[in-house]
Every structure is written in C-alpha cells, then in structure tokens.
C-alpha cells in the first residue's frame, strides 16, 4: 500500500489540472463521484451477495473521489495548480508518472477521505505551531 506521506491528494488533483485543464478534471472527478455511487446503489438493491459486494465497493469508490473533486474545485486554474506543484513541474513527465502511479491507491476503499482528513489534521497542527 502507498504510504500516506507520499500520497498527497491535493497535488494529485493539481497535476491533473496542470496537464489536462480544470474543466476536464472537475468533470472527470464529478463523474468519478456520481457514476460509481449511482451504479453502486443500484447494485445494492439486488439479492446476490456478489452484486451487493460490488455495489458496496462502487459506493466506496465514489466516496474516494469526493476529496479529489473538492481539491480540484478549490485549485480551479492551471496557474494555481502550477503554484501548488512548485518545482515538481520542472520534470513534468517524472511528476506525472509519480502521481499517475499514486492515483492507483484511490482504488482502495475509503482511502481518499481518510487521507484528506489526515492531511487536514496535519495542516491544522502545523498552523497552530
């Protein structure tokens, strides 16, 4: 599993925006929330255990993309995304490869919200010092 220190969801959203643009990324993340949630809830209505397990996984997958959608909306522009990434963009292909590999961790149920809450708590503890 990817360590939470190396997986920064805000930077993951920023690199997507820097390379793909905010409209595309926000649309992608909105679909990443809505489609799995809709399919998941439909699957949960079935009687088969396999369909219910799949439905639950899809619901969790949709929930994983909520923090990504929030971060993408908060960043909003390519310029802010580039500022967020800082020097990491000097080697664009390497940065994109790093974050593409890390994005696979979003397939782990509920990891997105857990990392977002942890990141917010870490940010608050650094601001208080």
Q: Is 87 a member of any domain?
A: yes
Q: Is 39 a member of any domain?
A: yes
pLDDT at 124: 62
Number of domains in the chain: 1
Residues 6+ apart with CB under 8 A from 61: 32, 36, 40, 106, 107, 109
Domain range enclosing 55: 9-128
Tens-digit pLDDT profile for residues 27-51: 999 999 999 999 999 999 988 999 9
Q: Is 1 a member of any domain?
A: no
Q: What is the DSSP letter of 107?
A: G
Residues 110 and 57 sit within 8 Å (Cβ to Cβ): no
Query: Predicted confidence band at 99 (pLDDT cuts at 50, 70, 90)?
Result: confident
Tens-digit pLDDT profile for residues 16-32: 999 999 999 999 999 99
Tens-digit pLDDT profile for residues 61-77: 999 999 999 999 999 99
Q: Is 42 a member of any domain?
A: yes
| Model confidence at 58: pLDDT above 50 | yes
């Amino acid at each position: 599993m990817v360590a939470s220190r190396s997986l920064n969801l805000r930077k993951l959203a920023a690199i997507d925006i820097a390379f793909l643009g905010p409209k595309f990324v926000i649309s992608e993340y909105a679909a990443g929330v809505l489609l799995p949630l809709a399919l998941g809830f439909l699957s949960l209505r079935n009687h088969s255990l396999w369909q219910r397990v799949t439905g639950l996984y899809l619901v969790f997958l949709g929930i994983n993309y909520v923090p990504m959608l929030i971060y993408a909306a908060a960043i909003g522009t390519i310029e802010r995304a580039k500022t967020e990434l800082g020097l990491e963009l000097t080697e664009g292909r390497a940065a994109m490869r790093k974050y593409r590999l890390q994005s696979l961790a979003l397939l782990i149920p509920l990891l997105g919200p857990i990392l977002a809450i942890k990141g917010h708590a870490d940010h608050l503890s650094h601001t208080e010092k």
